[in-house]
């Protein structure tokens, strides 16, 4: 019996099937991330878990209790939204306390829970301010605080970092990871950003077109993608794919090699001309045009100085070639 249990969940809006049969179990204390391209149904799935949408069919249990048709407030969940969704007419303290007031929790208990959450998130100096007087990062911390005070069985995050700038995003990401460790809470987190997914998750659920493509730990998905879609989606820069002769030689319809698993030398298994190089300082990305295979990306350490237009040989490292059949499934896992 897990913290969250989804069985054959389906959701249709009219004739359009958005979720097409999702089964999933989330263990207590686990950090689960739903990731996928936009329109894959990940947000809809989260809204079904929250009770903001009703599933068309299937069963949903939270902490062992069947929750089909139960209103959101009675599910023992808390949700953090992308747009923060703070109540503009209430102070930070009012925002955090509202749900508890609705539940009829005693005033002294509410104050204690707000104090604990605000200490955890360093919100103490902001408690009497209104949302309009806060910066984006502060607003998101308040939104997280509002979720914490409810002491929910399940935290739901709907792309909480998307509206923050890059620096704040990293900071808030660390904060969420730290909170997860401190609270030991079960969290379900939706993002389209695979870096967030890799850094935060105990378990990643990759969705595409309303279907779960693969479930596993971040490194599982990285090492052993179940199919070509997952292989291309997880990892940055994306995996190189090649079809045709190069694939046929190893008995596959297509092969894939990650940029970091390509060795660069004068001569290699594949040779081509360097068409572009990106110098990131710590890494250098080489974009090599290989005849018959297209543009291949290779990640080389440090400050590499290959000249644009020069001949570059690429060799995949042993055991790091992913083979896919004609339907895109991985061969021989």
Partner 1 sequence: MDRSRSSPLGRGLVHVALLAYTALCLAPVLLVVVNSFKSRRAIFAAPLTWPDASSFDLVGYRTVLGQGVFLNYFINSMIVTVGSIAAVLLFGAMAAFALSEYRFRLNTALGLFLALGIMVPIRLGTVSILQMMVAARLVDTHLGLILIYTAQGLPVAVFILSEFMQGVSKDLKDAGRIDGLGEYTIFFRLVLPLVRPALATVAVFTMVPIWNDLWFPLIVAPGEATRTVTLGAQSFIGQFVTNWNAVLAALTLAILPVLALYLAFSRQLIRGITAGAVK
Which residues would be at the binding site for partner 1 (CB under 8 A)?
A: 47, 50-52, 71-74, 77-79, 81-89, 98-99, 102-103, 132, 146, 158
Least Å distance between CB 181 and partner 1? Answer: 24
Least Å distance between CB 33 and partner 1? Answer: 20
Nearest to partner 1 of 74, 329 (CB atom): 74
Nearest to partner 1 of 32, 82 (CB atom): 82
Least Å distance between CB 57 and partner 1? Answer: 18
Cis peptide before 118 (omega within 30 of 0): no
Nearest to partner 1 of 86, 212 (CB atom): 86
Nearest to partner 1 of 82, 284 (CB atom): 82
Nearest to partner 1 of 71, 333 (CB atom): 71
Least Å distance between CB 132 and partner 1? Answer: 5
Whole-angstrom Cα distance, residue 223 to residue 233?
A: 13
Least Å distance between CB 119 and partner 1? Answer: 21
Q: Which residue in the block uniquely carries the two structure tokens 């249709």?
A: 12
Nearest to partner 1 of 80, 242 (CB atom): 80
Least Å distance between CB 152 and partner 1? Answer: 9
Whole-angstrom Cα distance, residue 41 to residue 18?
A: 6
Nearest to partner 1 of 15, 326 (CB atom): 15
Least Å distance between CB 174 and partner 1? Answer: 24
């Amino acid at each position: 019996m897990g913290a969250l249990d989804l069985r054959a969940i389906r959701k249709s809006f009219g004739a359009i099937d958005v979720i097409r049969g999702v089964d999933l179990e989330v263990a207590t204390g686990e950090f689960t991330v739903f990731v996928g391209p936009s329109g894959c149904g990940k947000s809809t799935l989260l809204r079904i878990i929250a009770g903001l949408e009703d599933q068309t069919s299937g069963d949903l249990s939270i902490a062992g209790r069947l929750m089909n048709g139960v209103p959101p407030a009675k599910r023992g969940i808390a949700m953090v939204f992308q747009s923060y969704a703070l109540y503009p007419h209430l102070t930070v303290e009012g925002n955090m306390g509202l749900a508890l007031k609705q539940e009829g929790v005693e005033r002294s208990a509410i104050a204690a829970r707000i104090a604990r959450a605000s200490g955890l998130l360093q919100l103490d100096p902001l408690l009497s301010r209104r949302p309009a007087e806060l910066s984006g990062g502060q607003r998101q911390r308040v939104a997280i605080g509002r979720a914490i005070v409810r002491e929910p069985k399940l935290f739901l995050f709907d792309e909480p970092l998307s509206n923050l700038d890059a620096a704040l995003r990293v900071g808030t990401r660390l904060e969420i990871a730290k909170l997860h460790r401190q609270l030991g809470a079960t969290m379900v987190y939706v993002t389209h950003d695979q870096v967030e997914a890799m850094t935060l998750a105990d378990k990643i659920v990759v969705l595409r077109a309303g279907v779960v493509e693969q479930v596993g730990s971040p490194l599982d998905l990285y090492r052993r993608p179940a199919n070509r879609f997952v292989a291309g989606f997880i990892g940055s820069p994306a995996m190189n794919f090649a079809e045709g002769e190069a694939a046929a030689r190893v008995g596959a319809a297509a092969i894939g090699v990650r940029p970091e698993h390509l060795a660069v030398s004068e001569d290699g298994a594949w040779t081509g001309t360097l068409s572009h190089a990106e110098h990131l300082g710590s890494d250098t990305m080489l974009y090599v045009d290989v005849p018959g295979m297209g543009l291949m990306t290779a990640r080389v350490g440090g400050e590499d100085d290959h000249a644009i237009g020069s001949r570059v040989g690429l060799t995949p490292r042993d055991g790091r070639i992913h083979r896919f059949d004609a339907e895109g499934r991985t061969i021989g896992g």
